[in-house]
Amino acid sequence: MANWRDVEYPVMERFLTVQGEGAYTGAAAWFIRLGGCDVGCAWCDVKESWDVNSHPAVEAGCLVDEVVASKAPICIITGGEPTIHNLSALTEGLQAARIRTHIETSGTHPLTGNWDWVTFSPKRFKAPLDSIYEQADELKVVVVNRHDLTWGETHAARFRSDICLYFQPEWGRFEQVLQYTVAFVQENPKWRISLQTHKYLGLP
């Protein structure tokens, strides 16, 4: 069996930042964006991540060493859609180094690896697997129009009672959707609003 350090992943970018979304907003984190996505959201702001073959392969050992050097307590794996890759080697290395492993996924592929926090962000463009509803710690629904609020409720109904629920106004339509998103949360207080605070701070 290959050493976890030798397993390679297509990496679009990685950097030290502050988590801007969801339950860990404001926490220092190392961010790894993997290449490859088969969901294809029309409003995606990182469409350059979609082509898995356009990003250099980086060994898991190198990625973990960078996280350790950054002194960030959390490593967030995203994409693209990160679950198209087998992430067992990467999470093995991160957890051996006592780094918290977080992932954001649309839930369209089986979840591999060991995770301390799973953010499920469903997309209309491809249905999620049923298994994600037992694995996720928070549900984050991007709000592009009013229909996303009731659509988000259909997902929330499938979760256990202690799931963290977030509506996140889509950045490009923030002014158009904020008012009715706030009104919905006020009427349905089990939900919270997630803002992309890293963008307000000028962080990647």
Report the range of poorest mean pLDDT among 118-122, 162-166, 171-175.
171-175
pLDDT for 54: 87
Alpha carbon separation from 132 to 85, 107, 137, 185 (Å, rounded): 16, 6, 10, 24
pLDDT for 53: 81
| pLDDT higher than threshold 80 for residue 167 | yes
CATH of domain 4-200: 3.20.20.70
| pLDDT higher than threshold 80 for residue 171 | yes
With pLDDT > 90 as the criterion, what percentage of the chain qualifies? 79
66 against 50, higher pLDDT: 66
Domain ranges of the chain: 4-200
Residues 6+ apart with CB under 8 A from 83: 103, 105, 107, 108, 109, 110, 111, 112
pLDDT for 172: 86
pLDDT tens by residue, 74-85: 999 998 899 999
Report the range of poorest mean pLDDT among 85-89, 90-94, 157-161.
157-161
pLDDT tens by residue, 18-57: 999 999 999 999 999 999 888 776 766 677 777 888 899 9
pLDDT for 178: 94
pLDDT for 45: 67
Rounded mean pLDDT, 183-202:
94
Edge-to-edge order in the sheet of strand 117-120: 57-59, 8-18, 28-34, 74-78, 100-105, 117-120, 138-143, 164-169, 191-193
